[in-house]
């Protein structure tokens, strides 16, 4: 009994169809995951932008123009300063979510960088520097880059 090419073609075609189908499923799952991660990033940023809209004076990062200055020590802060601190914390949580969802996306990293830049005076204060270790390496890298490019003129030493 001799097996000819015409005998091998139907099983081979079936095998190719199965492999192609499996590849299509894998591609679809990967695309769905990327869409989900992208939506997660947009949702995190959208929540942060809603906060910016609600508190524009905190969002712009220009502390001096807001009627309060950075305290000498953490304990010396006003209620308004503590609101600002929580505002920056919300920014950084959104940044963490975005960096986790889309870690290789340069546009998102640039967006985060520009938002962190607005708060560069605050992030360079000693009481913030003591807490920087709670953030992920990618976010710390952005924070450090901002600090390097925009060194504070008012960084105060802890008392």
d(CA 59, CA 57): 5
User: Where residue 159 falls among pLDDT bands split at 50, 70, 90?
Assistant: very low
User: Can you tell me whether residue 79 is helix, strand or coil?
Assistant: helix
More confident site: 61 or 47: 47
User: Where residue 135 falls among pLDDT bands split at 50, 70, 90?
Assistant: very high
Question: What percent of the residues of the chain are helix, what percent strand, and what percent coil, each to the nearest 5?
Answer: 75, 0, 25
pLDDT of amino acid 152: 80
Within 13 A of 96's CA, how many CA atoms are on the CB side? 13
Alpha-carbon distance values, 77 to 15, 114, 146 (Å): 70, 25, 24
* pLDDT digits 0-9 by tens, 7-55: 666 776 776 676 767 666 666 656 667 768 888 898 999 999 999 999 9
Q: Is residue 126 part of a domain?
A: yes
Q: Is residue 14 part of a domain?
A: no
Instruction: Write down the pTM of the prediction.
Output: 0.72
**What is the rounded average pLDDT of the residues 123-151?**
90
Q: Is residue 70 part of a domain?
A: yes
Full domain range(s) for residue 116: 38-149
Q: Is residue 50 part of a domain?
A: yes
Number of domains in the chain: 1
Q: Is residue 3 part of a domain?
A: no
Q: Is residue 115 part of a domain?
A: yes
Q: Is residue 61 part of a domain?
A: yes
Q: In this structure, are residues 132 and 140 in contact, taking their beta carbons and an 8 Å threshold?
A: yes
Q: Is residue 46 part of a domain?
A: yes
């Amino acid at each position: 009994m001799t097996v000819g090419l015409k005998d091998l073609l139907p099983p081979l075609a079936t095998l190719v169809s199965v492999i192609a189908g499996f590849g299509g499923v894998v591609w679809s799952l990967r695309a769905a995951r990327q869409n989900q991660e992208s939506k997660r990033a947009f949702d995190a940023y959208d929540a942060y932008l809603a906060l910016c809209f609600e508190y524009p004076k905190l969002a712009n990062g220009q502390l001096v123009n807001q009627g309060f200055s950075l305290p000498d020590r953490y304990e010396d802060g006003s209620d308004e300063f503590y609101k600002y601190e929580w505002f920056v914390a919300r920014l950084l949580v959104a940044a963490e979510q975005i960096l986790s969802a889309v870690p290789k996306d340069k546009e998102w990293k640039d967006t985060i960088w520009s938002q962190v830049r607005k708060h560069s005076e605050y992030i360079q204060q000693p009481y913030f520097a003591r807490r920087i270790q709670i953030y992920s390496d990618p976010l710390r890298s952005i924070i450090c880059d901002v600090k390097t490019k925009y060194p504070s003129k008012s960084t105060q030493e802890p008392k």
